[in-house]
Amino acid sequence: MPSGDRDEMHDLQDLCLDLFLPGMNVLDVGCGAGRELERLAERGCRPVGIDPCDSSLTAARHHQIPVHQACAEQIPLPPACMDGVICQVTLPYTDEARAVCEIERVLKAGGAAAISCHGSGYYLWRLVHDRSWKRRLYCLRTVLNTWVYRLSGRRLPGFWGDTLYQSPRWLARHYRAAGLELVVEKIAPWFLGRPVFIYHTLRKPVAVAGATATPIVPEHEELRLLNEVRALSAEVRSALGDANPADIGRLTNDEHTVSC
Ligand SMILES: C[S@@+](CC[C@H](N)C(=O)[O-])C[C@H]1O[C@@H](n2cnc3c(N)ncnc32)[C@H](O)[C@@H]1O
């Protein structure tokens, strides 16, 4: 568990963006000041952000990346236009079920979404460790609001009801209802046996003639295999970088002869 250092805690919430390759259109839902937009652009992706908050958008515009004022519950983009979506610690501020449906709508078939959320462990940890009583109060009302919401389906009135913590089970329910597949779940760290950050990779299924395509490899294996292929190709590239071009030609021809 982090030592109480706020920056360290914030660094932990960073999403892994390895899924998103150069040239992909990737939407950041709740882009805030645009840090993830910048990270996506550095990877060669074509990012676009949405956020309802004026001051966040003003900061995000400094990155020279397109951003729009909009909410996750009503994304102003046509269906199936995005190769990827990210949503970093934003779902708790939204009507989650509608936001997840919108993420599914704007994704292309086969597209992926990376989502991170605060679990109950995040708020418990802050309740115990945070030095600011204001933030402790905020955590307390988040815990209360979530319990009320889970029991009654309603949030507490006004600012009391502005945020919720997430649980993997509730999120999975929203994904299923929206038709998104949960491909990878990572929870880290834990506090008092409760999840602090929940990281999910989702995929929009590819429909084939009215049916859902069966993946060639089991879904939970997909990312691991993808990463292995990437690591192998990096090794091959670096090995070839050291090799004499004549040797490469000889090697290729030899292999060709053997396989014939
Ligand atoms: C905790 S911040 C996260 C910002 C950014 N994703 C990051 O990781 O730095 C939550 C963001 O969600 C935005 N937000 C609040 N309600 C939202 C909604 N209904 N739809 C989309 N974004 C929302 C806020 O303006 C804020 O920028």
Q: Is residue 252 part of a domain?
A: yes
Dist. CA 143–CA 147, nearest whole Å: 6
- CATH at residue 200: 3.40.50.150
Distance 207 CA to ligand 1 centre (A): 31
Distance 67 CA to ligand 1 centre (A): 13
Same domain assignment for residues 182 and 234: no
Alpha carbons within 13 A on the beta-carbon side of 114:
19
Distance 95 CA to ligand 1 centre (A): 12
* Domain housing 176: 6-119+166-213
Question: What pLDDT is attached to residue 237?
Answer: 66
Distance 190 CA to ligand 1 centre (A): 23
Dist. CA 12–CA 196, nearest whole Å: 10
Mutate to test the pocket of ligand 1, among 69, 93, 115, 139 (most ligand atoms within 8 A of CB): 93
Give the amino acid at 14: D
Residue list, ligand 1 pocket, CB within 6 Å: 29-32, 35, 51-53, 56, 71-73, 88-90, 93-94
Same domain assignment for residues 193 and 242: no
Distance 53 CA to ligand 1 centre (A): 8
Mutate to test the pocket of ligand 1, among 61, 63, 90, 101 (most ligand atoms within 8 A of CB): 90
The overall pTM is greater than 0.75: yes
Q: Which atom of ligand 1 is nearest to the CA of 86?
A: 6
Distance 1 CA to ligand 1 centre (A): 25
- Per the CB < 8 A criterion, the answer to whether 58 and 100 are in contact is no
- Per the CB < 8 A criterion, the answer to whether 78 and 149 are in contact is no
Q: How many domains does the chain have?
A: 2
Residue nearest to atom 13 of ligand 1 (CA): 30
Dist. CA 13–CA 188, nearest whole Å: 9
Same domain assignment for residues 233 and 179: no
Give 113: exposed, middle or buried? Use CB within 10 Å, 0-12, 13-18, 19+: buried
Same domain assignment for residues 172 and 255: no
Query: In degrees, to the nearest 5, what angle opens at C-alpha 163 toward C-alphas 161 and 168?
Result: 125
Q: Is residue 243 part of a domain?
A: yes
Distance 51 CA to ligand 1 centre (A): 6
Give 217-234 as a 3 state SS string: CCHHHHHHHHHHHHHHHH
- Per the CB < 8 A criterion, the answer to whether 139 and 161 are in contact is no
**What pLDDT tens digit does each residue of the chain (260 aa) get?**
334 444 455 656 678 899 999 999 999 999 999 999 999 999 999 999 999 999 999 999 999 999 999 999 999 999 999 999 999 999 988 999 999 999 999 999 999 999 999 999 999 999 999 999 999 999 999 999 999 988 998 888 888 888 889 999 999 999 999 999 999 999 989 999 999 999 999 999 997 665 544 444 445 566 665 566 566 656 666 666 655 444 433 333 333 332 32
Q: Is residue 139 part of a domain?
A: no
Dist. CA 98–CA 237, nearest whole Å: 44
